[in-house]
Amino acid sequence: MAEYVFVLSDDSQVPVVINSRRGLRNITIRPKFAPVREIHISKPWLVSDRAAIKFLESKQRWVESVFAKCPEKQAIYPNMELEFLGRRVLLVHDSTRHSNKFQILDDGTAQLIVGGDISMFPRRVRDFIKAEFLRELKNMIHSAPREFWPARIAVRDTTSRWGSCSSTGTMSFSWRLAFAPTDVMRYVVMHELAHKKHMDHSPEFWAEVRGLYGFGVERAKRWLAQNGAGLHALF
């Protein structure tokens, strides 16, 4: 249970969850939308909770803007079409099945047949997409030279960033990139791989990104800036 609440300008209260981590150098803030709206703060072990809350208060305008961009959630239901990882998929429910089945029909239509109770339908669809996202993520990473590969890959549901690269070599990615065009997802992947050599956003870093990605980096960046919030509309 959160010990603190953060009051937004509309007087709504958002629970704040604070975690202390050894080895962490800076305070990081992560507004979350699902399953409930919360603010997660990670702080160095020796930094007090009071200092963390004060830092959060200094970022109020940014926090407000993040929550303001959060779209209303769209329901997931049988017989709807959902586009992810570059493919439009018809969602079908079959309560007699115990597992999911993905298939492509003779006419080229892609179907995901979801088994189990209808109450589990959205969760099973989400878990399938996350698993497919991880598979495609690994394929994209392995398309780059081995020297850029991360030591570890993590899939998260972050709201403040699409990807990150730690000094230990772990790379994290938001699984919601599955709903972006595949070239945009690939841009985020190459962006983080480039951090293996440049832990900054210097001209040398961007040159590395362009070398890994090829033509279209600015177009992909622009798409994320204009449409990124919409990737949180589902689940």
The pLDDT tens digits for 11-27 are 888 899 999 988 888 99
* Residues 53 and 85 occupy one common structural domain: no
76 domain residue, yes or no = no
* Residues 90 and 128 occupy one common structural domain: yes
* Residues 130 and 227 occupy one common structural domain: yes
* Residues 12 and 95 occupy one common structural domain: no
Q: What is the pLDDT of residue 1?
A: 45
* Residues 55 and 91 occupy one common structural domain: no
Contact 84, 179 (CB under 8 A): yes
* Residues 61 and 105 occupy one common structural domain: no
Q: Which residues of the chain have pLDDT under 50?
A: 1
CATH assignment of the domain containing 127:
3.30.2010.10
CA atoms within 13 A on the CB side of 227: 14
Phi, psi of 3 (to 5 degrees): -95, -15
* Residues 97 and 181 occupy one common structural domain: yes
Q: What is the pLDDT of residue 34?
A: 66
DSSP-assigned beta bridge partners for residue 81? 90
40 domain residue, yes or no = yes
Q: Is the pTM of this model over 0.85?
A: no
Q: What is the pLDDT of residue 94?
A: 97
* Residues 55 and 88 occupy one common structural domain: no
DSSP assigned state of 234: B
* Residues 200 and 170 occupy one common structural domain: yes
CA triple 88-91-97, angle to 5 deg: 140
Q: What is the pLDDT of residue 35?
A: 64
Number of domains in the chain: 2
Contact 216, 183 (CB under 8 A): yes
Which domain covers residue 156, as residue numbers?
81-232
